[in-house]
Amino acid sequence: MTSVAVENGFPESPFRDQRFTVVDRWDQCANFADDDPRKVLEFMHRQMNEEMDATECSARAIVDFPDAPWEVRMFLARQCADEARHALIFARMFQARGGKLGDYPILNFQYRIICQIPTLIGRLAVQNRTFEAEGIDAIGYGIDEARAQGDDELAEFFDGQFADEIMHVRCANEFIHEMLAKEPRLAMKVAQALSFATKAFGQVVGGDGTAVAKYTISETGRREAGFRPEEIKVASQLAEDRRENALARKGG
Ligand SMILES: [Fe+2]
Ligand SMILES: [Fe+2]
């Protein structure tokens, strides 16, 4: 099977030690049914690695854009600290519940997509303003779901993570608006980065929308993250369309 990496010329995966099996596509991960007790464990393991990817992407941005304004570099350094803390908490919860690191395959699509984007504004638009904004939606849903299942430990962690991720998206939104006000032509770079990421992400998930089938956007989270009302409306409509498509595919 040709790997997505070969097809796209993505950067190599970040280093993982021999305990971990790194795969290229969503369907190569362990995707358990909702009622499977391993589902929450696998989620923690996968999410731990996603948080590690986010740490590594922000670290790479500091290295790759040494001339970026100081506030942006400080923000990226703070983001590294937050994402590394999230990874550690997921690892701790996962192991406390009997998981062993490396039990499930991991994906490094975030790193491989984001680190291929040549501009800082493009990376902020994809990493923070898109992937992490979708993370806010997922966490907003996750808080309610964990509470409903009586998993207070996970719900409390999500609550703290929700606040961190909102800040990551909010700061990126502010930096992007400032950069565009100074240099409106950069809007083209944002558009290029977004269309590249959409296409690359589509290859990773293979057109399977089950991951977005259960929830829509967190309007409160997105408002606090600095999205404008018209942007929230568009994101909500897109999420609803994706959800309907995913449900139609599942039913058909
Ligand atoms: Fe995070
Ligand atoms: Fe984040």
Identify the pLDDT of residue 188.
97
Which segments in the chain show pLDDT lower than 70? 1-11, 207-214, 246, 249-252
Identify the pLDDT of residue 166.
95
Query: Nearest ligand to the C-alpha of residue 76?
Result: 2
Distances, alpha carbon 166 to alpha carbons 24, 70, 137, 173, 221, in Å:
28, 21, 10, 10, 7
Identify the pLDDT of residue 242.
74
Q: How far is the CA of 79 from the centre of ligand 2 (A)?
A: 6
Q: How far is the CA of 132 from the centre of ligand 2 (A)?
A: 6
CATH number of the domain encompassing residue 25: 1.20.1260.10
Query: Nearest ligand to the C-alpha of residue 78?
Result: 2
Q: Which residues surround ligand 2, an ion (CB under 5 A)?
A: 132, 165, 168
Q: How far is the CA of 10 from the centre of ligand 1 (A)?
A: 22
Query: Nearest ligand to the C-alpha of residue 47?
Result: 1
Q: How far is the CA of 162 from the centre of ligand 1 (A)?
A: 9
Identify the pLDDT of residue 116.
94
Residue 71: give the domain boundaries: 4-251
Q: How far is the CA of 163 from the centre of ligand 1 (A)?
A: 10
Q: How far is the CA of 228 from the centre of ligand 2 (A)?
A: 20
CA neighbours closer than 13 Å in the CB half-sphere of residue 252: 6
128-139, pLDDT tens digit by residue? 999 999 899 889
Closest CA to 104 of 38, 58, 160, 153: 38
Domain count, the chain: 1
Query: Nearest ligand to the C-alpha of residue 57?
Result: 2
Q: How far apart are the first and last CA of the chain?
A: 27
Q: How far is the CA of 164 from the centre of ligand 2 (A)?
A: 7
